[in-house]
Amino acid sequence: MGGTFDPIHHGHLVAASEVQSLFELDEVVFVPTGQPWQKADRQVSNAEDRYLMTVVATASNPRFTVSRVDIDRDGPTYTIDTLRDLRTQHPEAELFFITGADALAQILSWKDAEELFELAQFIGVTRPGYVLTEDGLPADRVHLQEVPAMAISSTDCRDRVGDGEPVWYLVPDGVVQYINKHQLYAVEESRASH
């Protein structure tokens, strides 16, 4: 499961758990992106912090693991590189790349799409009623899966922290504590004063 995870939240975890169960996956590998080129317009938190929050959030689930392949590779993250690295590490595995349907629509419009489909199947998690409009996608390699609990986003979690509002129960407890300990998404002076 690829994502920025800035921070990881219960929407990601529910989606991963749901897909693991429905597709009978042995393992869900969370792969925090390196410097995400899609989000070049905003400052993304340090990769090590995003990685560690992902480790904290997934530690209690025996089927969840976290990979450093994208954060240890220099330059922007491209899904084709992620899949090649995971393929090298797990030569026998049948790979499924899980991400949000919004991100999936972008990924599948890339020129490498043919090779992407050879490396993995793709699962786009959606809120109820979402329709992926791309035509010509191979139906045997691309799946859309509705998941519960979609009304959480990392953007909202960051905004809440910045505004001094709680993120308890939106993200795992350990992630709340990590954010506090490392002063991520810190309250700006001007906001803190009122």
Binding site for ligand ATP (CB under 6 A): 3-6, 11-12, 15, 99-100, 102-103, 125, 147, 149-150, 152-155
Q: Whose Cβ is closer to ligand ATP: residue 32's or residue 119's?
A: 32
- Strand 142-146 relative to strand 121-126, pairing: parallel
Residue 27 neighbours by CB distance under 10 Å: 12
Q: Whose Cβ is closer to ligand ATP: residue 41's or residue 189's?
A: 41
| DSSP character string of 104-141 | HHHHTTSTTHHHHHHH-EEEEEE-TT-----SS--TTT
User: Closest approach of Cβ 89 to ligand ATP, in Å?
Assistant: 21
**Can you tell me whether residue 7 is helix, strand or coil?**
coil
User: Closest approach of Cβ 118 to ligand ATP, in Å?
Assistant: 22
Q: Whose Cβ is closer to ligand ATP: residue 43's or residue 88's?
A: 43
Rounded to 5°, angle at Cα 137 from 131 and 139: 85
User: Closest approach of Cβ 138 to ligand ATP, in Å?
Assistant: 20
Residue 106 neighbours by CB distance under 10 Å: 13
Which residues touch 155 (CB under 8 Å, ≥6 apart)? none
User: Closest approach of Cβ 108 to ligand ATP, in Å?
Assistant: 12
Q: Which residue is nearest to ligand ATP (CB)?
A: 100
Q: Whose Cβ is closer to ligand ATP: residue 101's or residue 194's?
A: 101
User: Closest approach of Cβ 171 to ligand ATP, in Å?
Assistant: 10
